[in-house]
Structure 1
Amino acid sequence: MAAAPNDTQPKWRRTSKPRTRTGCHNCRRRHLKCDEAKPTCLRCVKSHLTCEGYVEPSKASKEVCKTTRSILPKDPQPRLSIIRPSEQLETRNEVESRYIKHFYNKSSSGLDGILNWSIWNRLVLQLSNREPFIHDSCVAIGALMKAVDIDESLLEDEVNSGSLQIAKMHREFALLKYGRAVKQMQGALIGAELRLVLVACLLVFCFENLLSNRFEALAHATSVQPLLREWLAKYDQVMPTSQRLHSPAPVIVDEELVEAFNHLDLQISTIYDPRPADAHRAAIREGLEAVKTMPPIFYDLSEAQSYLVAVMRRCHHFLATTWPSSETHALSRDFEIVPPEDVIITTGINIWSTSYTVSNSLRIEQQEFAEDIRRWSQAFQPLFDSTRQSETIGSRSHLVATLLRIHAINTTIVIAGVLFTEEVAYDVFLHEFQELFDLATIVVQAHRKKSGYIHKSAGFFLDLGIVAPLYLLVNRCRDHSLRVNGIELLRGWHVEASWDPRLIAEIGDFMMDIEEEGNTDGFIPEKSRAVFTAVCEEPQRQTRHEAVLQCVQRYGGPGGRPVWHERRVFF
């Protein structure tokens, strides 16, 4: 990440000499301000003109451009605040205006998920009119999304040097603005209201995910969770049980923010969760009373969603408390292949961990959480059936209900799996795996019909989509055709926040190759089945990514001893 300058002003603003004005011949002839992009002016590109080149700048001007790039705009004082983000947004110059509009367009027309995206296109943009660090963060995200859009298009078409240069300039400007925003945050958030702290965290989470720094993004989301939980705990005694799933004081912390961070809590637990046991036990207690009073039938999707998130959070945090007692780390070992990074995800750090041993107390405790998800599924079934009617097919309610059902199936299998010490036990869920795949296919087809293609970039996604459940399918389902189809679905899908479908597809291929080697009759015996135990990923910007994968056939060796396998993959 590019570092912010030591002072608040850009470096070219601090020089004692005036900046030499240069520009392409087209802009100078038309008396227009030139952005001086190289190799061709962006104004000329957008006006479909042939850029005629530049006036040779002075030596001093060249030295300044080496540091700041010619795309760096001037930065006068902001204009008056605008209330409606869908109209003219407050910006400081034309360049930032384009990036802010791109931010708004992306956050308004993004792929539908369970969460409403108004948190980006309403709350964040309104706050950007009075908080400079939010404004600069939105500009940075808009600029980075421009670069990502170009990178995606180059994956489909022949590489163009001019497009690569334009993407590079968008990215460099994004890093400059982000560095400035982070520096502003450090001062602005001291003693600030909780709403601003939470919004700042969301912006950092979004930007770092766009940079493929998913562990940085998750670390920020994890660090802010205790502040929100502490604030919510203040209202426990005065809030009716039915209201504990929502913001107790929306004037202080918006309902959308509470909802977003509940979903981020689920993101953390599915990828890399280093939080202490006390934090997990507190989270389990947090939703207990609300889940106990869950209605027998849900009548609207919002109610069903709120209760499902509460059930899932309790289940995920329960799974985290089982890792020490079930000795999940006994199934992993250090990599023999040199890993590309220091951060290694092993079994025993997320909800997909495999139990090495199961105690009687764990079996008793697991029943409570299995019953929670069973009651939710039963209460949701009539509402789910109503969204399958012909008049609702293809609607947002149809899509949201589909996603809710996907996550309920996923949670049911994961909670049951904490008691499994043999992989053949997952075969009982073949019907559920088939339904999970069918529902995920509905989601993919709905988005292809809506937009014509699938965006590959991450960013604004805060809730779990279909990649995490499909990871469960390609990892635990041993039906060959279902696995192959699941991998194919992943390869055509987009990154969902910290979940990269390309990596999950590589894991699916790896597991299939190990388990099905030499198999001819279709059924995979227990000794051939493997447990995925570790992954270490190094994202390579604008090119391919690298990862090292590890799995173990715990009964595959002589005398039933474990056999580990590793593979380096690029995707």
Structure 2
Amino acid sequence: MAGSTKTNSIDPVAGIVQHTQPDKPKLTRNSTRKVRTGCITCKKRHVKCDEGKPHCLKCLQSRGHCEGYAVEQRKDPPKPGQFCWDSSQVIRHAAPPRAQALLNFDFLDFGNDLGVIYFDEFVGLVSAPWTSAASGDDLWAVTVPQLARNSDTLRSAAMAIGALSMWHRQSPNRRLSTLSVPEVPGNEGDSHYFNAVAHYCQSLKSQSRHASLQDTVVLSVLLLYFESLRDNRKAALDHVNHGLSLLLALITDENSQHHIAGLAPNPRPLLAALAGVYNHLTPQARSVLKDRIGSGPPLPNLAKGLKKKNHTIESFMVLLSQLPVTGTDIGDVPAVFNSLDDYQESWSAIRKAHTAMVPIMVETLTSSGAMHSKDDKAIEDFHRNLLGNDRIRDFCDRSAKAMDALDVAFQPLFNKIIMTYDDESPVYLRAIHLRLQYLGVHIFDNPPEYIDMASLNTRTPLFREYLSVASIALRLARREVQRNPALQMSLQYGLSWYLLIMAFFCRDPLLRDEAVGMLRDYPGQDGLWSTRALYALALRCRLVEQRNAMEGTPDEQWARLWRREFVFEDGGDRIIFRYMDRNEATGKWELVEDLAELEEGTYEMRWRRQPVTGSGGLLMVELYAAANAEDETHTPP
């Protein structure tokens, strides 16, 4: 804007640009039009309005409510500014990416002032600490807002998310996991929900009229975010199915390099960031089924594409994980990291290398004799061979050495940030999230450590540290939830899942109970997981542990606990849980299956016993076969 200047300062530790805006010079009367932007309530009272958005603070303090602002329709809506990619143009004094994200709304066509409010809400939501810290890149904080500002399709989707966030903000329900969407407007705040649906539909119409590769790929993520934010996991699974199919076609096509080049002037970072979202959600989509076991592949469009391309889900996930191209090798770890950006680059390289274990695990599974066996002894031998496999052990040993070196170099920086920064600082929260990511992989993605009770007991200090750091993250999260529950929606966070794994596998009963308690009070929603379902499963597992401890040596008890398997049906609202239970009549331990269905809006559920579904063998084998098999009778959405 003419007459204003902006200065930037960079925090070297966090790699975050901070913006300051000096006072604007006073404009002359000729340059200023008369403002009539006060709220409806102040206009009726004929008093000066403080123009606070979305509600006037003066009204809220004096009267307890504000009727909001009249929606001013623009007489001549300006067309969106032309957005031209020109990779040959060099801008030597360009603003930093986060500064570029703060564009002037007046250049865009929002239709009315409410559209501006919704878009502003969207930008604040997707750049919130929980979302941006978990992603590890600028996808949400910078890239998506920039692209949305310059595309009718993406801007409509962004306004849909912003309107839904406004509805959450004004809802008396402060937990995403127990929300109930309105069917008809019940109060003034519900209008935001129906406006959100209208903008959602508008984005689909715009996409059908003006299709582009960039809009199609990014829109799939935005609509996935929207459906997750209103807890519609069945629709979210459809978008995962569609988005993964797009990525498969894009990166495996004969002309893939040409298609990728047309995605953006520097397409690799954008493609890698989008792939990171879907790579995180794909394993969830194998456990959270839209329908029931046996009703077809969980991701039908993807399954059909994988068959044509001669890929499996596992090989495709490895392919996606290789998209981020970094110049950092896993051995290039300094003595001490100087910034979180430097650490994250090395951490990303190690995580990328860690995905090479997936094909080894699959090969061990498919070559075992337990693939189609129902014999308890054969299945026990399979678990023992899998967890004791020499190739897997050697891989994990090499990975552990690299991660230990990374941890030594990160500890001084981490401790400095924790002691220097306030816990409200984005730098502090980012450091906490990065520490949780490291501990999650180090503790839970090391199969050989789970082979027997002795190995697991040595992991107890790590389990304890994980819960300690997680408690800090959740304390900060609950503070944000009081402002807006939508701030705790993340497509790339996995804390709730790791808490469930802790409740299953940690051998310290006090730590297990602490993990269950954290799940009960969990304030957010992580991807496709239903927090209520994870908590219900953790509670049920506590009873299984109690019955299992009645008989046998520690190693015999642990071998029985290997048989615990579960899957979430009907979009996550129906839980199937298998485990070994003692038959009181025969005194033998037998495989049983329990079922529970979540009731809308509550944490209450009832478990009941049912016959074991499927073949009665390993549930993971049935899910693996379903995910990689094309069902000709299944109609894709």
Category of TM-score, reference length = shorter chain: 0.5 to 0.7
Cα deviation, 1:355-374, whole Å, max 9, x if unaligned, reads 95565899243235414531
Cα–Cα, structure 1 residues 253 and 117, in superposed 2: closer, same or farther, change >3 Å?
A: same
Give how far 1:185 is off: 1.9
Q: Residues 143-222 of structure 1: matches in 2 within 5 Å?
A: 143-151=163-171, 153=173, 164-189=186-211, 192-193=212-213, 195-214=214-233, 215-222=237-244
Instruction: In structure 2, give the amino acid aligned to 1:308.
Output: I
Q: Does 1:536 align with 2:568?
A: yes
Cα–Cα, structure 1 residues 520 and 271, in superposed 2: closer, same or farther, change >3 Å?
A: same
Distance in structure 2 (CA, Å) of the matches to 1:134 and 1:355: 52
Name the structure 2 match of 1:93. 112
Q: Does 1:265 align with 2:279?
A: yes
Q: Does 1:365 align with 2:413?
A: no
Cα–Cα, structure 1 residues 424 and 208, in superposed 2: closer, same or farther, change >3 Å?
A: farther
Give how far 1:181 is off: 0.9
Cα deviation, 1:337-379, whole Å, max 9, x if unaligned, reads xxxxxxxxxxxxxxxx999556589924323541453133123
Name the structure 2 match of 1:294. 330
Instruction: In structure 2, give the amino acid aligned to 1:206.
Output: Y
Aligned 8 A contact 2:101 2:142 in 1 = yes
Name the structure 2 match of 1:550. 577
Q: Which has the higher contact order (CA 8 A, sep 6+)?
A: 2
Q: What SS does structure 2 have at the residue aligned with 1:439? A: helix
Distance in structure 1 (CA, Å) of the matches to 2:58 and 2:198: 23
Give how far 1:315 is off: 3.6
Distance in structure 2 (CA, Å) of the matches to 1:283 and 1:465: 17
Aligned 8 A contact 1:355 1:418 in 2 = no
Give how far 1:202 is off: 1.6
Q: What SS does structure 2 have at the residue aligned with 1:387? A: helix
Cα deviation, 1:126-177, whole Å, max 9, x if unaligned, reads 32333211111011111111222233546699x9x99952343222221122
Count of matched residue positions in the alignment of Structure 1 and Structure 2: 481
Tell me whether 394-403 or 94-103 shows the greater mean CA deviation. Answer: 394-403
Give how far 1:418 is off: 7.2
Aligned 8 A contact 1:552 1:562 in 2 = yes
Cα–Cα, structure 1 residues 554 and 370, in superposed 2: closer, same or farther, change >3 Å?
A: farther
Give how far 1:123 is off: 2.5
Q: What SS does structure 2 have at the residue aligned with 1:562? A: strand
Cα deviation, 1:82-141, whole Å, max 9, x if unaligned, reads 995535422221221221121122223342523357433432333233321111101111
Distance in structure 2 (CA, Å) of the matches to 1:499 and 1:200: 21
Give how far 1:287 is off: 4.2
Percentage identity across aligned positions?
15
Name the structure 1 match of 2:611. none
Equivalent position to 2:531, from 501, 504, 512: 501
Name the structure 2 match of 1:565. 594
Cα–Cα, structure 1 residues 429 and 391, in superposed 2: closer, same or farther, change >3 Å?
A: closer
Distance in structure 2 (CA, Å) of the matches to 1:263 and 1:180: 24
Name the structure 2 match of 1:224. 246
Cα deviation, 1:57-87, whole Å, max 9, x if unaligned, reads xxxxxxxxxxxxx999899744453995535
Tell me whether 249-258 or 202-211 shows the greater mean CA deviation. Answer: 249-258
Aligned 8 A contact 1:331 1:533 in 2 = no
Equivalent position to 1:489, from 518, 532, 556: 518
Cα–Cα, structure 1 residues 123 and 487, in superposed 2: closer, same or farther, change >3 Å?
A: same
Aligned 8 A contact 2:474 2:523 in 1 = yes
Aligned 8 A contact 2:467 2:515 in 1 = yes
TM-score (norm 2): 0.62
Cα–Cα, structure 1 residues 218 and 455, in superposed 2: closer, same or farther, change >3 Å?
A: farther
Instruction: In structure 1, give the amino acid aligned to 2:127.
Output: S
Cα–Cα, structure 1 residues 163 and 151, in superposed 2: closer, same or farther, change >3 Å?
A: farther
Distance in structure 1 (CA, Å) of the matches to 2:373 and 2:59: 60
Equivalent position to 1:511, from 510, 516, 541: 541
Aligned 8 A contact 1:308 1:408 in 2 = no
Name the structure 2 match of 1:280. 314
Q: Residues 87-486 of structure 1: matches in 2 within 5 Å?
A: 87-89=103-105, 90=108, 91-111=110-130, 113-115=133-135, 118-151=138-171, 153=173, 164-189=186-211, 192-193=212-213, 195-214=214-233, 215-227=237-249, 229-230=251-252, 251-253=265-267, 255-272=269-286, 278-281=312-315, 283-284=317-318, 287=322, 293-298=329-334, 299=337, 300-316=342-358, 318-319=360-361, 322-325=364-367, 356-357=382-383, 363-367=389-393, 369-390=395-416, 392-393=418-419, 394=423, 396=426, 399-417=429-447, 426-447=456-477, 451=480, 453=482, 456-457=485-486, 461-486=490-515
Instruction: In structure 1, give the amino acid aligned to 2:356.
Output: R
Name the structure 1 match of 2:36. none
Cα–Cα, structure 1 residues 304 and 453, in superposed 2: closer, same or farther, change >3 Å?
A: farther
Cα–Cα, structure 1 residues 369 and 379, in superposed 2: closer, same or farther, change >3 Å?
A: same
Which ranges of structure 1 fall in alignment gaps of 5 or more residues? 1-24, 32-41, 54-69, 236-246, 333-352, 540-544
Tell me whether 412-421 or 132-141 shows the greater mean CA deviation. Answer: 412-421
Aligned 8 A contact 2:576 2:595 in 1 = yes
Q: What SS does structure 2 have at the residue aligned with 1:463? A: coil
Cα–Cα, structure 1 residues 123 and 473, in superposed 2: closer, same or farther, change >3 Å?
A: same
Distance in structure 2 (CA, Å) of the matches to 1:391 and 1:523: 46
Distance in structure 2 (CA, Å) of the matches to 1:169 and 1:141: 14
Aligned 8 A contact 1:128 1:134 in 2 = yes
Give how far 1:512 is off: 0.4
Instruction: In structure 1, give the amino acid aligned to 2:577.
Output: Q
Distance in structure 2 (CA, Å) of the matches to 1:496 and 1:306: 20
Cα deviation, 1:394-429, whole Å, max 9, x if unaligned, reads 565554454344334433454443796778864453
Aligned 8 A contact 1:467 1:500 in 2 = no
Which ranges of structure 2 fall in alignment gaps of 5 or more residues? 1-39, 47-53, 84-99, 288-298, 604-637
Distance in structure 1 (CA, Å) of the matches to 2:250 and 2:350: 20
Aligned 8 A contact 1:311 1:372 in 2 = no
Cα–Cα, structure 1 residues 30 and 410, in superposed 2: closer, same or farther, change >3 Å?
A: closer
* Cα RMSD after superposing both structures: 5.0
Q: What SS does structure 2 have at the residue aligned with 1:513? A: helix
Aligned 8 A contact 1:281 1:321 in 2 = no
Cα deviation, 1:193-251, whole Å, max 9, x if unaligned, reads 4x33331122122112112233234323422332454489977xxxxxxxxxxx99972
Q: What SS does structure 2 have at the residue aligned with 1:548? A: strand
Instruction: In structure 1, give the amino acid aligned to 2:330.
Output: M
Cα–Cα, structure 1 residues 481 and 496, in superposed 2: closer, same or farther, change >3 Å?
A: same
Distance in structure 1 (CA, Å) of the matches to 2:149 and 2:265: 18
